[in-house]
């Protein structure tokens, strides 16, 4: 960690008629300020995670907010490393997150009720009946999640619509979809509303915002993030419980490896002992046999 640097995470669903123009202007701005990270602009909005010096991240926000479309954004900041992203990637895309729906969800028209971290905390303490539905990928869930939460059985967010039968029994219950920073749940909760779920919320600001306020409490383990930090927690004494288990030998671990079979490349939790000499590991016997066959 390097307190001179800040990692910034934000999104906004807002109509952008000229995403290519915005992309070009934003790329220039980021280059001038020496920022690195991933920025996606689309007709439906913006989704960003970037890192820079504290001062330059501040200047970035000031510049961004000169465009009224980018006002009223909930910015999430954490301490950087100075090296969280290998490069700057600024893209214009069709969507900022994709559910592969023919008739896509516009969260400004249909979405779950925003539930503040303090409100969710209170629900836990009152013992209210509600169900946290984790909309992240399985490897993100494995290393950390809300106690008692339900994981959607998908490899990828875009598979959520076809996996809804898994939570059919919760249609009439209070449900709270969660994801890292909230951008995925804006759409996922809208989808639940459209599919007839009757009491749909979403965690405002995502898991990041909950952990920031209540570290090492109802969210167990550590939070997977899409940068070189791999995982993060806000717990200064590092007293969080490790919930991740090595996919191979089941000992507690929070380190990941990619499958050595490049065509598979599956991300798995893997302890130090189970790694091969080059730090990789096989996700399965099938992948191991596949590679042995090729080298034989």
Q: What is the 3-state secondary structure (H, E, C) of the chain?
A: CEEEEEEEEEEEECCCCCHHHHHHHHHHHHHHHCCEEEEEEECCEEEEEEEEEHHHHHHHHHHHCCCHHHCCCCCEEEEECCCCCCCEEEEEECCCCCCCCCCCCCCCCCCCEEECHHHHHHHHHHCCCCEEEECCCHHHHHHEEECCCEECCCCCHHHHHHHHHHHHHHCCCEEEEECCCCHHHHHHHHHHHHCCCCEEEEECCHHHHHHHHCCCCCEEECEECCCCCCEECCCCCCCCCCCCECCCCCCECCCEEEECCCCCCCEEECCHHHCCCCCCECCCHHHHHHHHHHHC
Q: Min. distance of Cβ 266 from Zn ion in angstroms?
A: 5
Q: Which of 130, 134, 147 is nearest to 224 (CA)?
A: 134
Work out whether 99 is an interface residue with Zn ion (CB under 5 A).
Answer: no
Work out whether 287 is an interface residue with Zn ion (CB under 5 A).
Answer: yes
- Distances from the Cα of 49 to the Cα of 52, 110, 161, 191, angstroms: 11, 25, 26, 25
In the complex with Zn ion, the residue whose CB is nearer, 143 or 274, is: 274
Catalytic residue among 179, 185, 270, 287: 179
Q: Min. distance of Cβ 289 from Zn ion in angstroms?
A: 11
Q: Which of 133, 170, 223, 283 binds Zn ion (CB under 5 A)?
A: 283
Work out whether 259 is an interface residue with Zn ion (CB under 5 A).
Answer: yes
Q: Which of 116, 266, 267, 275 binds Zn ion (CB under 5 A)?
A: 266
Q: Which stretch binds Zn ion (CB under 5 A): 8-16, 45-53, 75-83, 253-261?
A: 253-261
Work out whether 152 is an interface residue with Zn ion (CB under 5 A).
Answer: no
Q: Which of 249, 276, 289, 292 binds Zn ion (CB under 5 A)?
A: 249
Work out whether 246 is an interface residue with Zn ion (CB under 5 A).
Answer: yes
**At how many degrees (to 10) do helices 54-64 and 19-33 cross?**
150
Q: With CB under 5 A, what is the number of residues at the site for Zn ion? A: 11
Work out whether 257 is an interface residue with Zn ion (CB under 5 A).
Answer: no
Mark whether 179 is an active-site residue. Answer: yes
Q: Which stretch binds Zn ion (CB under 5 A): 42-50, 151-159, 200-208, 271-279?
A: 271-279
Work out whether 200 is an interface residue with Zn ion (CB under 5 A).
Answer: no
Which single residue brings its beta carbon nearest to Zn ion?
264
Q: Which stretch binds Zn ion (CB under 5 A): 89-97, 129-137, 232-240, 265-273?
A: 265-273
Q: Min. distance of Cβ 228 from Zn ion in angstroms?
A: 23
Pairing of strands 131-134, 174-178: parallel
Q: Min. distance of Cβ 245 from Zn ion in angstroms?
A: 9
Q: Which of residues 52-81 bind Zn ion (CB under 5 A)?
A: none
Interatomic CA distance for residues 239 and 252, integer angstroms: 15
Work out whether 264 is an interface residue with Zn ion (CB under 5 A).
Answer: yes
Q: Min. distance of Cβ 152 from Zn ion in angstroms?
A: 22
Q: Which stretch binds Zn ion (CB under 5 A): 13-21, 162-170, 193-201, 276-284?
A: 276-284
* Residues that are catalytic: 179
Per CB under 5 A, residues contacting Zn ion are 246, 248-249, 259, 261, 264, 266, 271, 274, 283, 287
């Amino acid at each position: 960690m390097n307190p001179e640097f800040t990692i910034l995470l934000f999104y906004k669903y807002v109509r952008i008629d000229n995403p290519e123009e915005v992309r070009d202007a934003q790329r220039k701005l980021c280059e001038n300020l020496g920022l690195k990270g991933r920025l996606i602009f689309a007709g439906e909005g913006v989704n960003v995670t970037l890192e820079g010096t504290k001062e330059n991240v501040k200047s970035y926000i000031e510049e961004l907010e000169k465009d009224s479309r980018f006002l009223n954004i909930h910015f999430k900041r954490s301490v950087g490393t100075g090296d969280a992203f290998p490069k700057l990637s600024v893209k214009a895309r069709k969507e900022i997150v994709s559910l592969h729906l023919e008739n896509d969800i516009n969260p400004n028209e249909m979405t779950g009720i925003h539930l503040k971290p303090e409100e969710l905390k209170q629900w836990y303490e009152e013992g209210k009946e509600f169900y946290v539905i984790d909309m992240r990928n399985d490897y993100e869930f494995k290393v950390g999640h809300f106690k008692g939460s339900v994981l959607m059985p998908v490899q990828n967010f875009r598979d959520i619509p076809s996996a809804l039968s898994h939570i059919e029994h919760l249609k009439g219950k209070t449900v709270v979809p969660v994801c890292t920073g909230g951008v995925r749940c804006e759409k996922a909760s809208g989808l639940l509303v459209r599919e007839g779920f009757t009491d749909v919320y979403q965690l405002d600001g995502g898991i990041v915002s909950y952990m920031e306020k209540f570290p090492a409490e109802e969210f167990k383990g550590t939070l997977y993030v899409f940068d070189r930090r791999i995982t993060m927690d806000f717990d200064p004494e590092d007293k969080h419980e490790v919930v991740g288990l090595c996919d191979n030998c089941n000992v507690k671990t929070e380190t990941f490896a990619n499958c050595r079979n490049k065509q598979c490349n599956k991300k798995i939790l893997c302890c130090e002992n189970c790694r091969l000499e080059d730090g990789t590991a096989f996700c399965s016997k099938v992948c191991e046999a596949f590679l042995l066959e090729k080298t034989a």
